[in-house]
Amino acid sequence: MQKSHQGLTAVSDDDCLILADALAVLFKERACALRLAAAIATARGERVPDAHDFGLTQILRLSRAIGSDVPPLSDFWPVAKSST
């Protein structure tokens, strides 16, 4: 059955499940990359990247648009600011 998911038209429930899984995996990978980049930046005394630098806020926005539950960023990044 196709229905609208917060502005996404003609997306089937099966497609939404696939998108939700893909976004969850992408979010997890990007959060891991952010942690690694932050550790390297800290060790070098450079600016620590944030969630925006790795597209995490956009992934969260898309996940919400399809009704998917993505864990809060703070689960992956303890010093994450709630900017979404």
pLDDT in tens, 2-17: 445 556 667 788 888 8
Average pLDDT score, the chain: 81
Could you give the percent of the chain with pLDDT greater than 90? 48
Q: Provide the pLDDT for residue 11.
A: 76
- Cα four-point dihedral sign 70, 72, 75, 80: positive
Contact yes or no for 17/56 (Cβ under 8 A): no
pLDDT in tens, 53-67: 999 999 999 988 888
Q: Is the pLDDT of residue 84 over 80?
A: no
Domain boundaries, the chain: 2-75
